[in-house]
Amino acid sequence: MQTAAQIDPLQPTPAPDAWGRVSVVVVTHHSAAVIGSCLTEIGPAAEVIVVDNASDDDTLEIVTKTVPNAKIARNTIGVGYGAGANQGLAQVTREFALLANPDSQTNTAAITALLAAADQYPDAALLSPRVLDSDGVDEPAHDVEMFDRRAYPSRAGEAPPDGPVCAAYLSGAVVLLRMSALQDIGPFDEAIFLYYEDDDFCMRLRAAGHSAILVPGAVVRHAGGGSVRPSAHYRWEKFWHMAWSRLYLEDKCRGAQARNRLARALAGHYALKVLGNSLRLDRSKTWRDLARLSGTIGYMLGIPASRTTKRARPLPTEPTDRPST
């Protein structure tokens, strides 16, 4: 496995004005441990927009100290990632928006490579860099569509591609969005509080005739899981929303019958895991699977994903052409 030090010399020579084409949008939530490192890497020519979801730590103090001219939206209640990103995108004045998790680090060489690819592929609405974790190991940033992933083997140890790849899905850890395409795609679906909003966005992007490109010549760092401080509440929230959002996308893309089949299967699966982990006295996994079971039941009961939206079901749309299997 190549390290970042081995890869970085292959990146394009940084253009000093590259950041002048970019607005950086970061959604924060108790992100004091990582936001400083994220913002320090961003060039001074960038427009920086931070949307804070009710942090009660030093997140915003660090933002204002690191980037004094940053635009800051202060939410008194957490609105989730998609709604927060939409708030930030509404303030963008540049040609491109870099949507970056607060635990990511994107330098000038990476943004230069992403912009070069965007200029080379004008139909690309979304472009992702190669993502390395804190140990320099690849985090696959591209994939097939969500509904097709179970048909493929594990990607552990997969070598990165040699050149740009047109993908069905790009991870939302760090992505460059062409703002002129946003009108065709539409904003993030705000009924989704956390998780799978990037899958939904990529599916709508491709349905609108745009492409998503992985640019392995651009390399960024991503701590992974460092965007918020760890806690039992955070673990519950994470797995509850993963289960809820998965059913929402099944409902949105494949319809109520497919959603009901999946919900029954998942509820039974998680209930058995709760029982088994309880008998093994594994409190951590029991807590995780209780959250998954609760999120599954919550969706079927029509409970919205958050207090900031009353919508618990997809909006009526044209019938999907995906099979409801």
Q: How far apart are CA 57 and CA 30, in angstroms?
A: 6
Q: How far apart are CA 39 and CA 18, in angstroms?
A: 16
Reduced to 3 states, what is the DSSP secondary structure of residue 46?
coil
Name the DSSP class of 30.
Answer: S
Contacts for 115-119: CB closer than 8 Å, 24+ residues apart? 115/15, 115/18, 115/21, 115/22, 115/176, 116/12, 117/164, 117/213, 117/215, 117/217, 117/218, 118/176, 118/178
Return the exposure string of 285-313: e unless at least 16 CB atoms fall within 10 Å of the residue's CB, then b: ebbbbbbbbbbbbbbbeeebbbeebeebe
Measured on CA atoms in the order 52, 39, 170, 17, is the torsion positive or negative? positive
Q: What are 78-105's pLDDT values in tens digits?
A: 999 999 999 999 999 999 999 999 999 9
- Residue 70: what pLDDT? 98
CA nearest to 247, candidates 205, 287, 288, 305: 305
Burial class of residue 217 (count of CB atoms within 10 Å of its CB; 0-12, 13-18, 19+): buried
Residue 35: pLDDT band with limits 50, 70, 90: very high
Backbone angles phi, psi at 137, to 5 degrees: -95, 140
Q: How far apart are CA 71 and CA 88, in angstroms?
A: 9
Q: How far apart are CA 216 and CA 130, in angstroms?
A: 5
Is the whole model's pTM more than 0.85, yes or no?
yes
Q: What are 53-67's pLDDT values in tens digits?
A: 999 999 999 999 999
Q: What are 124-165's pLDDT values in tens digits?
A: 999 999 999 988 899 999 999 999 999 998 888 888 899 999
Residue 1: pLDDT band with limits 50, 70, 90: very low
Q: What are 3-29's pLDDT values in tens digits?
A: 333 334 445 555 558 999 999 999 999
- Residue 7: what pLDDT? 39
β-pairing verdict for 174-178 and 96-100: antiparallel
CA atoms within 13 A on the CB side of 10: 14
